[in-house]
């Protein structure tokens, strides 16, 4: 009787969360799946649908623009994620040492993360300006024609990734710093007695003890950076020559600019599938190495 009462109470207390979960996650997910299997002939009446089955997905995988957006996304992820993880770890290990102004450095490192993406993109848009930007102003002392960071097909994605690292690395820094400070110092004292210092102590003690945090940060950053949208949307509109196009920006253009709602929903579900695969691979490759 007591167990049954506890079960009923647990269900009752869970109902508010389940209601929110259903309304804001389960229902939109099912609705999106429904949309991806239909087209909308009347752009002004979303109740008028036409069943097309997997046609949207077939067209998607035959669309060269989709592959270009995928390539841009992969390039952005390949540049930003390693930098975000490695730099965040280095910053955390550096601040953890007995250096002057540790508290000030912590505030400085984390402060960009509290800015909104709109503020960050607008500020860095000015910094990257070819004619009056801060970077090209100083480069002008050394070279005659500083590059157009947001107008060069070869530089634009690296520029967006660098800005993203500056903006988001503070989150990883905090996670890594907390993980490093949770490692018992007696482990390092024992290692020093055995002559293990520097790189050996990092490899044998620091990294294994922080592995769960590393797995978490890597997975989160892969998922977040694969969904990059605001940076190309505000700063480049996918240019120049679609070299900064990304999957989420392509989804936005398809669904809202071109009003191909079913096609946009299909892009969204392909993106979800990619993220699930990435999460599984990251967990297997990084997480299983913890065994």
Q: What digits encode the pLDDT tens for the residues 197-208?
A: 778 878 888 888
Specify which residues 39 forms β-bridges with: 50
The confidence score (pLDDT) of residue 73 equals: 95
The DSSP call for residue 38 is: E
For residue 283, being part of any structural domain is answered with yes
Q: For residue 53, give both structure tokens.
A: 């089955």
The confidence score (pLDDT) of residue 2 equals: 55
Residue 51 main-chain phi, psi, to 5 deg: -70, 130
pTM above 0.75, yes or no: yes
The confidence score (pLDDT) of residue 155 equals: 93
For residue 141, being part of any structural domain is answered with yes
Place of tokens 């957006």: 69
- The domain tally of the chain equals 1
183-216-232 Cα angle (round to 5): 135
For residue 260, being part of any structural domain is answered with yes
Cβ-based neighbours of 48, under 8 Å, separated by 6 or more: 40, 41, 42
CA distance 233 to 90: 31
Closest CA to 282 of 228, 226, 224, 222: 222
**Alpha-carbon dihedral sign for residues 188, 190, 192, 198:** negative
The confidence score (pLDDT) of residue 3 equals: 60
Low-confidence ranges of the chain (pLDDT < 70): 1-3, 44-46, 98-99, 196, 286-291
Neighbours of 55 (CB within 10 A): 17
Radius of gyration in angstroms for the set of CA atoms belonging to the chain, rounded to a whole number: 24
Give me the domain span that covers residue 218: 62-288
Look over the chain and give the mean of its residue pLDDT values, rounded to a whole number: 87
Instruction: CATH number of the domain at 242, please.
Output: 1.10.3720.10
For residue 23, being part of any structural domain is answered with no
């Amino acid at each position: 009787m007591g167990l049954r009462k506890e079960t009923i109470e647990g269900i009752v207390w869970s109902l508010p969360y389940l209601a929110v979960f259903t309304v804001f996650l389960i229902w939109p997910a099912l609705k999106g799946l429904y949309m991806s299997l239909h087209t909308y002939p009347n752009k002004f009446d979303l109740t008028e649908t036409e069943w097309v089955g997997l046609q949207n997905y077939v067209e998607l995988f035959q669309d060269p623009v989709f592959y270009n957006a995928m390539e841009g996304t992969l390039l952005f992820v390949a540049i930003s994620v390693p930098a975000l993880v490695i730099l965040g770890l280095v910053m955390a290990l550096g601040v953890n040492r007995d250096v002057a102004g540790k508290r000030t450095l912590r505030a400085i490192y984390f402060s960009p993360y509290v800015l909104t993406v709109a503020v960050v993109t607008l500020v860095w848009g000015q910094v990257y300006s070819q004619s009056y930007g801060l970077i090209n102003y100083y480069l002008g002392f050394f070279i005659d024609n500083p590059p157009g960071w947001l107008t060069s097909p070869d530089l634009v994605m690296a520029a967006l990734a660098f800005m993203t690292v500056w903006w988001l690395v503070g989150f990883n820094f905090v996670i890594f710093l907390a993980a490093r400070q949770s490692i018992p110092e007696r482990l390092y004292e024992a290692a020093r007695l055995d002559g293990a210092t520097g790189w050996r102590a990092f490899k044998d003690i620091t990294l294994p003890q922080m592995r769960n945090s590393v797995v978490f940060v890597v997975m989160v950053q892969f998922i977040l950076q694969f969904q990059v949208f605001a940076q190309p949307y505000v700063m480049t509109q996918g240019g120049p020559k679609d070299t900064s196009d990304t999957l989420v920006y392509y989804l936005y253009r398809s669904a809202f600019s071109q009003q191909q709602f079913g096609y946009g929903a299909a892009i969204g579900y392909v993106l979800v599938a990619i993220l699930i695969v990435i999460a599984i691979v990251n967990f297997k490759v990084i997480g299983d190495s913890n065994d």
